[in-house]
Amino acid sequence: MTDTSTADETDDAAGGGREAELVAQDDGLSARQEFQMRFALAQALGENIPGDEDYYEVFSWDKNPTVEDFFALALRNPYAYAVTFLPPSTTWRNPPQIDDRAEPPEGVDQTQFESDVQELVDDHQLWHYAKRADKLAGVGKFGVLVLEFDDVDDPDGFSSPVEAGAELTGLRPFSRASVTDVAVGGPGSGRWGDPVEYTLDLSDENEYETVIQHHGDETVDVHWQRVIHIPSDELLDDELRGIPRQKPVYNNLIDIEKTLGAAGQLVYRAAAWGIHINISEDFNLEDDGDQLREHLQRWQHGLENVLRTHGADDVKSLGGEDIDPQPVIDPNIEAVSAQTGLPQSVLKGNESGERATTQDLKEWYGKIAERRNEFVEPQIVRATIDRLQDIGTIAEPRGEGYEVDWQPLAEMSESDQAEIRKTRAEVLETWLQVAPGVLTPKQQLEFIEDGDLPSELEDADLPELDEADPEVAAQFESAFGPAEADD
């Protein structure tokens, strides 16, 4: 077993004197050669023509932001919040439906497997915690969802394997910031390169919180069977650590933060405008202008309603200029949108305050559907259900496996829905001309509104048609066009 310290998010750090330390930290999760390649890439960040300034330093960009930096920015910057949390929030808007591939026994609605999963959803809010774990996993390179079973009654028991058939009693999500160490298996262990134990920091991730106090040990060792390891979305050459959601656009987010802050400060300074009073050189100021100076100060602080300008040639306002941060912010938002797939109208809303366009939502929902199938289903949904099956907490599926079904996210606009109803009405009109009386008025309305036909309607219910009847032939020609002549 190899112990891997991951206390700081410094896998890709650029400090030359720390290479040996960082290689030691990374040992077990990647080969030395792999790490040296990453280290070289980090060193290259910001390099320009030899002798020129490092543009990462010029632009005040952090070469190696930590998970704490990502977390802090996500909680304070609206665009960083959207980049970090909007993909999982949209993904889990409608939780998945788990279906056994076999039909339930006669007389019951669910198989035992389906019933067990539904019980976890109802009693332990399974998908609620899965959603939270998904959100936290993207803050850093990975997160974890800890499964609590009834086979332990003190923190020391978490380091032991789960007893067969143990019942689930709770779930707890953690971000990368709470994972202080990961131990991975070595050759011959059966878990070579996979985690075997986690050390979690149970203290509050909000260091400034003073009301909630944790009692007991600050850390706990947790056996791998009690942990669902969830990498951030993008996995490349590593099975355990993905790319933090903010990292590819972190520079853009920082530039947006700086621009908004600078604009706010300039607006504040412009609001505190002053005045310039040019006293006529022919005007005789009594007491060297002390009374005028006192009057102006009282007017400036709102203690005088009238500004006396006797003896002044002119009075000018020293108001500031209007500040428009959009020319700087918009290109950065475009870059964030291009990398993340988040439509700009979703990131910032349309300029007129309207909702995102139908096309924007279609593209966004398509990306979320891909995320559900390619990432969330294997890494979270199936990983959790399969683990609980292996332990014996839930029954095995009655059939050969199970299906994970997601409800589509696409929402049709009112105009789209009206067009569909119009098409259904036209189809219904043609149909009733060919087979009048086959549907009642209520059934016709249901078909137009929902597209539903009565289940009892079968081919045997339809009246036979006399194709030789000129009226029937005319209806067919109206509906489907003239028939082609036989050769």
**Would you say residue 51 has pLDDT above 70?**
no
Residue 419 is predicted with a pLDDT of: 79
**Would you say residue 259 has pLDDT above 80?**
yes
* Residues 356, 359, 364: CA angle, nearest 5 degrees: 75
**Would you say residue 381 has pLDDT above 50?**
yes
Length of the chain: 487
User: How far apart are the C-alpha atoms of 154 and 148, rounded to whole Å?
Assistant: 11
Strands 227-231 and 142-149 come out as: antiparallel
Residue identified by tokens 């609590």 is: 148
Contacts of residues 315-318 at CB distance under 8 Å and 24 or more positions apart, as own/partner, are 315/275, 315/276, 315/277, 315/278, 316/275, 316/276, 316/278, 317/273, 317/274, 317/275, 317/276, 318/273, 318/274, 318/275, 318/276
* Residues 409, 414, 420: CA angle, nearest 5 degrees: 85
Band (pLDDT 50/70/90 cuts) for residue 477 is low
Q: What is the pLDDT averaged over residues 21-29?
A: 42
Residue 411 is predicted with a pLDDT of: 62
Residue 391's nearest CA partner among 56, 160, 108, 111 is 160
Write phi, then psi, for 482 (nearest 5 degrees): -65, 140
Write phi, then psi, for 2 (nearest 5 degrees): -110, 130
User: How far apart are the C-alpha atoms of 83 and 87, rounded to whole Å?
Assistant: 7
Band (pLDDT 50/70/90 cuts) for residue 12 is very low
Q: How many CA atoms lie within 13 A of 453 on its CB side?
A: 10
Band (pLDDT 50/70/90 cuts) for residue 9 is very low
**Domain-wise residue ranges, the chain:** 65-251+358-405, 274-317, 414-480
Q: What contacts 138, CB < 8 A, 6 or more positions away?
A: 84, 85, 87, 88, 232, 233, 242, 244, 245
Residue 460 is predicted with a pLDDT of: 44
Please tell me the least confidently modeled range out of 47-51, 177-181, 311-315, 396-400: 47-51
pLDDT per position as a tens digit, 53-85: 677 888 888 889 999 999 999 999 999 999 999
Q: What is the pLDDT averaged over residues 122-136?
A: 97
Residue 20 is predicted with a pLDDT of: 42
Residue 415 is predicted with a pLDDT of: 74
Question: Rounded to 5, what percent of the chain is helix, strand, coil?
Answer: 45, 15, 40
Write phi, then psi, for 346 (nearest 5 degrees): -80, -40
**Would you say residue 41 has pLDDT above 90?**
no
pLDDT per position as a tens digit, 244-258: 999 999 999 999 998
Band (pLDDT 50/70/90 cuts) for residue 328 is confident
**Would you say residue 21 has pLDDT above 50?**
no
Please tell me the least confidently modeled range out of 32-36, 67-71, 157-161, 376-380: 32-36
Contact (CB, 8 A) for 149 and 168:
yes
The residues with which 2 forms a beta bridge, in sequence order, are 184
User: How far apart are the C-alpha atoms of 389 and 392, rounded to whole Å?
Assistant: 5
SS3 at position 416: helix
Residue 232 is predicted with a pLDDT of: 94
**Would you say residue 386 has pLDDT above 80?**
yes
User: How far apart are the C-alpha atoms of 110 and 179, rounded to whole Å?
Assistant: 39
Q: What is the pLDDT averaged over residues 224-230?
A: 98
The residues with which 3 forms a beta bridge, in sequence order, are 183
Please tell me the least confidently modeled range out of 60-64, 71-75, 325-329, 432-436: 432-436
**Would you say residue 471 has pLDDT above 90?**
no
Please tell me the least confidently modeled range out of 25-29, 212-216, 334-338: 25-29
Q: What mean pLDDT is reported for the chain?
A: 80
Band (pLDDT 50/70/90 cuts) for residue 40 is low
User: How far apart are the C-alpha atoms of 88 and 95, rounded to whole Å?
Assistant: 11
Q: What is the pLDDT averaged over residues 188-198?
A: 93
Residue 58 is predicted with a pLDDT of: 81
* Residues 427, 428, 432: CA angle, nearest 5 degrees: 120
**Would you say residue 243 has pLDDT above 50?**
yes
Token readout for 457 is 């309607």
User: How far apart are the C-alpha atoms of 397 and 399, rounded to whole Å?
Assistant: 5
Residue 433 identity: Q
Residue 458 is predicted with a pLDDT of: 47
Q: What is the pLDDT averaged over residues 431-460?
A: 70
